[in-house]
Amino acid sequence: MPVLKNPRHELFALGIVQGKSGRAAYHAAGYKAKDATADASASVLIRNHKVAERIAELQNRVSERAEVKIVEIVGTLATVLRANMLDYMRIGPDGLPYGTSKGDPHTK
């Protein structure tokens, strides 16, 4: 579904997906109603078919991105867990590590 034609509806949907309350999303979208009126109007907007579809679409996108990030993080952690420190440093005859960094007294 493309961006909603009504920019306030689009901003409202984005606010809801960002975790704002109905009232906060309603105000962030530029509406001026106060307190209970804002709550009631936000409730009506959430039930609007096009707005509800847009919210669902945006939530799916956020969910898919989160899943990709989780997969990337797990992959990176797995690589780190399988790492062998001897690939990055050596142990000298004195039992102390040495590497390639300057300033390391054990660098050879």
The verdict on residue 52 lying in a domain is: yes
pTM reported for the whole predicted model: 0.61
> How do residues 10-50 score in pLDDT, each as one tens digit?
999 999 999 999 999 999 999 999 889 999 999 999 999 99
* The two three-digit tokens of residue 34, written as one number: 């106060």
Number of domains in the chain: 1
The verdict on residue 15 lying in a domain is: yes
Domain that holds residue 50: 7-65
pLDDT surpasses 90 at 64 = no
CA distance 96 to 35: 68
The verdict on residue 31 lying in a domain is: yes
The amino acid that residue 68 corresponds to is V
Q: Which residue would you say has higher pLDDT here, 18 or 104?
A: 18
- Long-range contact set of residues 87-96: C-beta below 8 Å, sequence gap at least 24: none
The verdict on residue 74 lying in a domain is: no
pLDDT band at 103 (very low <50, low <70, confident <90, very high): low
The verdict on residue 94 lying in a domain is: no
